[in-house]
Chain A
Amino acid sequence: MSSELMTWLIPLPPLLAFFLIVLFTNRSKGLSHTVAIVAIAASWAMSWMIFFRTLEVEHFGQAVIENWVPWLPFGSEEVGTEALAMGVLVDPLTSVTLFFVSLTCFMIFVYSVGYGNWGKPRDLRHDLPGNPPHNGIEPLYSRFFAFLSLFAFGMLLLCVADNLVLLFVGWEIMGLCSYLLIGFWYARQYESPHQITPRQAAVKAFMTTRVGDVLMLLGIVYLYAQTGTLSFREIMYAHEGEMLTKLAATPSYIVGLSVAGLAGLLLFAGAVGKSAQFPLHMWLPDAMEGPTPVSAMIHAATMVSAGVYAMIRLFPLLSAGWHHGDPLTAPMWAMAFIGAFTALFAATIAVAQNDVKKVLAYSTISQLGYMIAALGVGAYIAAAFHLVTHAFFKALLFLGSGSVIHGVEHGMHHAHAEGLDPQDMRNMGGLRAKMPLTFWTFLIGGLALAGFPFVTAGFWSKDAILGGAWEGGYVVVFVTLAATAFLTAFYTMRQISLTFLGEPRTQAAEHASESDPIFRWMLFALVVLAFFAVTAGWAGIPESFPGLGGLPHALGFTANWFHEFVGGALLEHPPAEAFDVVPLATSLVVALGGLLLGWWVYRDIRAGARDPLEAPLGPIYTLLKNKYYLDTGKYRDEATGEYRDNLYQFLFVRPTIWLSETLVSAVVDRGLIDGTLHLIGRVALRLGDIFRNYFDAPVVNGFGDLVAEVVKRFGRNFRVIQTGKVQQYLIVVMAIVIALGVVMFMPGLGR
């Protein structure tokens, strides 16, 4: 099969699976998950086939796979416009993205079979649809796989898209699936009315990302209006990037920004929303209300990566006019700032979180910040590299946490401790002995996240980013990212220690286990992902690295493989990095230091003990725990016990609700506009009344009545001559005859 055709086909099997499940196989859970898994496996197979094919092409960056069709007719040749085209593109970036996306999706689908309690009977009494199952099979099992499939379609579509519109289509479909899947347990209620429910979290996710999306739409539209096309190759590569130079030189509507700058900023806004960067970050931690496979897939490995992927894809546009050593363009500056800031900001919050998934959520935000910052300083390859490795180990960590949660729930069931929160790390501890395979895979993932040297993928990619920042001379970014790396290692080890090390703090943790058959599905996925979390980094070892530089070659890749392969996607091949000891030393110090500190502080926490950080940090700890109050919804003031608005709730949500319910509906529409109409109506009624009472009735009607009255009076008065007596009539006749005779025959009277 030709590569073009195969690329078109890659997103389709999951879409087909979605329709099949929704329309036909809904009733049968087994059939549904089979359809879904077969479909994603097909996509995965095709993706890897494409990937391996592209490995063999020399200078693949120039000889990409592309194919398109005209999609939206527009104007005509006489007017000078042409139809908008849609198609597929596989360049080196797409190739590696397809590699990890298809694999992680596949593994998550497999994991979901176990997570959904496949094999258990349906518990009709306790498990209501729209609520998480207790011990029976998930009631809406088929629907879950349908949504997952639709999501996979969206992500794969985004990956192979050759133009911004198709990318946007995939982007939004994933947004929809994110909404549907976060709110999967739509009926779930909590005791506290201020704790965010899944359905509220879903709306929050959708609306927050929509803020970014509408700005991105403006960016797309702007680019289209300026260039007449939205195809990536045409805008960024055709004619040696001629169009980019033009865009970078043309001024835009905002003084000081070129077209490329403004469009780039608008497009970046989309990524800020989708990849949960500050200030649109608050939806991601609440998205943890969704089932864990959803958190893993959408909120770690793929959808949030889509924002970064789009930015990497658009890097030539964002950096139009920039070369190494130049001052950063506006979009790059924004990315560097927001990325680095978010990385540190989220890492600080993660330190104070107690929910196992929330720590990972903030960790994701932080790592995405890393990638964005890398792009911001021009470290294109490093950003792409971290994208790939992060997907593997973050997915691994989330799936691992899901396994932990299931294990603790198991323990809760056995220990009859139903009221516990199975996601709170304070209820865990000592799970290393109870759930060994989960522990080891989680540890691998955690070490990768922290950047444990040499044997984890995370190390290589993080090192590349730090190296890129250092090399460009961006000291502030470098220091921020290094501090973040330290905190990352710290909270990772904190998480591992609290969850797995020490002694079990509750009965539930005591009875946790991973021996149930459902775990087999989950553990399989964990192992596969752990493998890649270790090895994926080796493909990107820079050639200049002392000692290990030759490893990619030894593994069968070319020297400096990742750099050469992905770097070929750019017009100007980025120069190979020279080795510098400073970033390497920094990486090692912060990673190992953070891990050590985290382990040492949290290695032996007893049940009921306070967090060791609470005392030294004091009020800062509360600030971190409450996420700096930068959120919608309310927080609980520990001192007074009452609930108060978070910042975004106060600044954005309340005014919007007021605008909608009060100003527009009541005051303007009903009050002003309808009020005016009703006033006109009343005036017209008054006028009508006046006209009727003062003119129509007396004058016009009166005249008619007057005529009738006159006739009546005359008639009444005149009728008396009719007496009914014949003789009197005859007298009258006689009188008239005589009178007539006199008149006719008397001479002298005029005829």
Chain B
Amino acid sequence: MDFIIDHLLSLILFIPVAGAVIITLLPKDQVGAIRWVALITTLFPLGLSLVLWTRFDSHAAGFQFVEQAPWFTVINSSYHLGVDGISVVMILLTAILMPLAVLFSFSITEKVKAYMALFLLLGTGMFGVFMTLDLILFFLFWEAGLIPMYFLINIWGSANRQYASFKFFIYTMAGSLGLLLAIQTIGITLGSFDMLNAIEKWPTFAGAIYGIPATTIRAAAFWAFTIAFAIKVPVWPFHTWLPDAHTEAPTAGSMILAGVLLKLGAYGFLRLVLPLYPAEAKFYAGALAFLALMAIVAGALASFGQTDFKRLVAYSSVGHMGFVVLGIAVAAVARDSEIFKGHAIMAANGAVLQMFNHGLSSAGMFLLVGVIYDRTHTRNLNDFGGLFPLAPVYGGILIFTSMASLGLPGLNGFVSEFMVVRGAWPVYTVITAIGMLGLLMTGAYILKGIQKVLHGPVNQRWAGHRLEISRREVIAIAPLLALMLVIGVWPAWLVSVINAAITRMMG
């Protein structure tokens, strides 16, 4: 037991890889065994994450469950893991979504072995980003998540998958090139790649590097970091890979892509950009807030204009992440101001909570789109109509999840959006006011989805088909529904952890 507690993070990190190895050793026609091994493998990190959650002390300062071991001693990069309030929430989100996505993936029938192995490897990549406290490791896990995702989209995706996977991969990787360079700069300058060390020393570093003054280097590195994370989040206008990738990916891939991978970018902002470049972040926060506004409004407008159900949901992710970015912008600009610090804390709390909430609701929405796509093999909204009597349970769940996505008070989306708006309003009043257009259009596109799919007279094309959601799929989405309701009604259990970490971070 002690061993487990002492190495909790490492276990969470590497159990998926171990599962992937086991799966590669299984014969490829034992599809049932492969699926169940994959599912059980994802349940271990879930259980361990719950242990992590219960044992996490939100009142203690600094990182907990720290593990450090020498790795690349020559360049001073160690195997350094640790969690604080923000990481723990993200790890919990990933751990919850993985088993549900795997459970939904039971409907994949081709090349199941490769699929499950890739999926588990993806899991390790994601966990790694959230846990690591070393810059080289951060980059390693950051990139490691890309390759399985590329293959997942490329092999098991739908019609336009070649284009979408290629675009996703190259776009994200192009962004991270600057990230790698900047990380190298930091490591060489400071002599160590440790994140905590960098956060302490990098913002005030005053020497010259290869003859160039530190301020210039820092500005360049800031942009390198920002662009890498901005592409991932995605910040408008770097968002165009998202609709293609989300739409063409297989359902479970979309769930994880929207649910977790987008959060990697936002997490990068909070964990790295804000602490390492406080002055630059503050200077450019206004621009970031403007881009967030564009994401909120343009994302919602674009979503409303789609005829492909999955693309509609994909664009909604752009809009929701816009709120996260707005919260981050407020945190960047206001964290050291005495008057506005409260607003910064509220906005940052809202941003992190929105990351968690959006993970739940968008994963749920993609799952539901996947349910209907599996049965009708079309995603065109105009092909549906009047499906409510044919699939009443599905309809009810769709309405519930849609309302969470829309931000109906009483469900989780409202709490985080309220917090972000509350934090942003005193700091960026005009932007927040215009952002309400986005909230308005959010209602429009959600209702459009519901109306086109469920309402109206029954579309005779589907009259005899079995469209109702299956029990396995209900089990896959049920935890998300429960969480959406619980967080909406009583968010304190989650917000207190986030709040403690953010308050400490803001100083």
Contacts and interface: CB of A to CB of B under 8 A. Distances in A.
Report if A and B touch in the complex (beta carbons < 8 A).
yes
Interface of A: 22, 70-76, 78-81, 83, 128-130, 165, 168-169, 171-173, 176, 179-180, 183, 186-187, 189, 199-200, 202-203, 206-207, 210-211, 214-215, 217-218, 221-222, 224-225, 228, 253, 656-657, 659-665, 668-670, 673-674, 677
Contacts of A70: 492
Contact of A129 (B303, B388, B414, B418): B388
Give chain B's interface secondary structure class. helix
Interface string B276-317: 000000000000000000000010011111100000000000
Interface string B418-442: 1101100110010011001001110
Contacts of A172: 408-410, 414
29 contacts: A72-B419, A74-B342, A75-B342, A75-B503, A79-B503, A83-B492, A128-B458, A165-B409, A169-B414, A179-B447, A186-B455, A187-B457, A199-B455, A203-B447, A207-B447, A221-B425, A225-B425, A253-B429, A656-B301, A656-B444, A657-B305, A660-B302, A660-B304, A660-B305, A664-B298, A665-B306, A673-B239, A674-B240, A677-B240
Contacts of B490: 71
B443 interface: yes
Interface string B377-397: 000000000101100000010
Contacts of A221: 418, 421-422, 425, 432
Closest 10 CB pairs of A and B: A660-B305, A661-B305, A169-B409, A186-B455, A214-B436, A199-B455, A660-B304, A73-B496, A73-B499, A129-B389
Contacts of B386: 130, 186-187
Given A74-B499, A664-B301, 4 more contacts: A187-B458, A221-B432, A225-B343, A664-B302
A225 B240 contact: no
B495 to A, nearest CB: 5
A187 B395 CA distance: 14
Contacts of A189: 456-457
Nearest to B421: A221
A657 B433 CA distance: 21
B86 interface: no
Interface in B465-507: 490-492, 495-496, 499-500, 503, 506
Nearest to B432: A218
Contacts of B362: none
B167 interface: yes
A183 B454 CA distance: 11
Given A75-B499, A172-B408, A207 B440 contact: yes
Contact of B456 (A165, A186, A210, A662): A186
B346 interface: yes
Given A218-B421, A221-B418, A660-B441, A128 B389 contact: yes
A74 B457 contact: no
A70 B496 CA distance: 11
A180 B455 CA distance: 11
Nearest to B399: A180
B230 to A, nearest CB: 13
B349 interface: yes
A206 B342 contact: no
B410 A169 contact: yes
A540 to B, nearest CB: 33
A165 B419 CA distance: 11
Given A207-B443, A218-B433, A72 B491 contact: yes
A207 B503 CA distance: 37
B450 to A, nearest CB: 9
Interface in B236-292: 237, 239-240, 243
B415 interface: yes
Given A199-B456, A221-B421, A206 B305 contact: no
Contacts of A225: 343, 422, 425-426
B182 interface: no
B418 A217 contact: yes
A72 B415 contact: yes
Contacts of A670: 240
A646 B262 CA distance: 42
A340 to B, nearest CB: 28
B345 interface: yes
B451 interface: yes
A659 B503 CA distance: 40
Interface majority SS on A: helix, strand, loop or mixed? helix
Contacts of B409: 165, 168-169, 171-173
B107 to A, nearest CB: 25
B237 A673 contact: yes
Most chain-B Cβ atoms within 10 A of its Cβ — which of A81, A211, A217, A662? A217
B320 interface: no
Nearest to B439: A214
B403 A176 contact: yes
Nearest to B447: A203
Contacts of A218: 421, 425, 432-433, 436
Nearest to B244: A674
Given A73-B496, A173-B408, A187-B457, A199 B421 contact: no
Contacts of A656: 301, 304, 441, 444
Nearest to A69: B492
B425 A206 contact: no
B305 A187 contact: no
Nearest to A209: B443
A218 B440 CA distance: 13
A327 to B, nearest CB: 27
Given A176-B408, A225-B426, A76 B503 contact: yes
B63 interface: no
B373 interface: no
B492 A72 contact: yes
Contacts of A665: 301-302, 305-306
A224 B424 CA distance: 12
A180 B410 CA distance: 16
Contacts of A668: 298
B14 interface: no
Contact of A659 (B301, B343, B422): B301
B341 interface: yes
A363 to B, nearest CB: 28
Contacts of B451: 199-200, 203
Contacts of A71: 490-492
A70 B493 CA distance: 12
Nearest to B452: A199
A168 B343 CA distance: 21
Most A C-beta atoms less than 10 A away, residue of B345, B414, B451, B455: B455
Point out which of B240, B388, B389, B422 has the most chain A C-beta atoms below 10 A from its C-beta: B422
Nearest to A199: B455
Contacts of A78: 503
B171 interface: yes
B427 to A, nearest CB: 9
Contacts of A661: 304-305
Contact of B341 (A79, A215, A663, A669): A79
B455 A187 contact: yes
Contacts of B425: 218, 221-222, 225
B447 A215 contact: no
A656 B443 CA distance: 13
Contacts of B349: 74
Contacts of A72: 415, 419, 491-492, 495
Nearest to A225: B426
Contacts of B456: 186-187, 189, 199
A218 B424 CA distance: 11
Given A187-B456, A206-B447, A659-B301, A79 B342 contact: yes
A673 B301 contact: no
Contacts of B343: 225
Nearest to B436: A214
A169 B422 CA distance: 16
B173 to A, nearest CB: 13
A165 B491 CA distance: 14
A165 B302 contact: no
